[in-house]
């Protein structure tokens, strides 16, 4: 597995470069927005990727609460970190696009506000995992993750349920998209998934090794004289 990682990293870097080339030079220019719309090829795939990792965190958190499986906990925390990273990209690229198109950086509509709330929930999850010293921290974090996951469908469906300034979806009932644009969207999403999967793999290995170190230290403290007192 260690030997495969550098090869996969090189392939992923090449795929990201190809996806970026498609987004910047191959995809047609939007007639209304001009070239500024090209940031959407990073904004939208980042949002989709964050949903994938937050859903992974949700499932792993449920498994951990039911079985107390340390590997499920490692999956949950690793997925949450990647979800926050990609959600941060969403929150950064959105205002960059909005400023020249809307004339403002931010507006408190349902889609934007619910996305920010989602980001804050999972940042709180990571803060709880990082700074809590109690033995129940993973359990409390898992409960927070399960409750926080309720915001994910609100983020996705907010533009259907409420009047928002955010554009309506171009895939599905909300509209249509140029097949060439959709093709580039999917290429970039696949590239982001490859990047996220690669980093997730590395982060999961680090987390499981840290769990092994913690278990060893706990066992050694029990074996020391007076350690069981």
Name, in order, each residue with C-beta under 8 angstroms of 184's C-beta and a sequence gap of 6 or more: 19, 22, 23, 26, 27, 41
| pLDDT of res. 32 | 83
| pLDDT of res. 23 | 95
Rounded Cα distance between 111 and 90, Å, is: 12
pLDDT in tens, the chain (229 residues): 678 889 999 999 999 999 999 999 999 988 888 888 899 999 999 999 999 999 999 999 999 999 999 999 999 999 999 999 999 999 999 999 989 988 888 888 888 899 999 999 999 999 998 887 667 888 999 999 999 999 998 888 877 776 666 666 655 555 567 788 899 999 999 999 999 999 999 999 999 998 888 788 777 777 776 654 4
pTM assigned to the model: 0.89
- Give percent helix, percent strand, percent coil of the chain, each to the nearest 5: 80, 0, 20
Distances (CA, A) of 138 to 70, 75, 77, 128, 217: 9, 12, 9, 8, 18
| pLDDT of res. 15 | 98
Q: Which residues are 30's β-sheet partners? A: 34
| pLDDT of res. 222 | 76
Q: Which residues are 72's β-sheet partners? A: none
71: number of CA atoms within 13 Å, CB side? 1
């Amino acid at each position: 597995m260690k030997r495969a990682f550098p090869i996969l990293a090189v392939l992923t870097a090449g795929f990201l470069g190809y996806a970026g080339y498609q987004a910047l030079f191959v995809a047609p220019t939007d007639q209304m927005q001009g070239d500024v719309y090209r940031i959407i090829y990073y904004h939208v795939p980042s949002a989709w990727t964050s949903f994938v990792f937050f859903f992974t965190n949700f499932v792993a958190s449920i498994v951990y609460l039911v079985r107390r499986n340390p590997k499920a906990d490692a999956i949950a925390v690793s997925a949450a970190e990647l979800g926050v990273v990609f959600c941060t990209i969403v929150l950064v690229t959105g205002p960059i696009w909005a400023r020249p198109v809307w004339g403002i950086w931010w507006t408190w509509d349902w889609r934007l506000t619910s996305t920010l709330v989602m980001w804050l929930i999972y940042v709180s999850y990571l803060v709880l995992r990082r700074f809590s010293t109690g033995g129940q921290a993973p359990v409390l974090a898992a409960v927070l993750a399960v409750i926080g996951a309720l915001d994910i469908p609100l983020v996705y469906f907010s533009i259907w349920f409420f009047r928002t300034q955010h554009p309506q979806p171009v895939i599905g009932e909300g509209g249509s998209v140029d097949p060439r644009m959709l093709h580039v969207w999917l290429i970039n999403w696949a590239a982001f998934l490859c990047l996220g999967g690669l980093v997730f793999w590395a982060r999961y290995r680090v987390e499981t090794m840290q769990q092994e170190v913690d278990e060893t230290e706990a066992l050694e403290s029990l074996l020391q004289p007076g350690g069981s007192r």
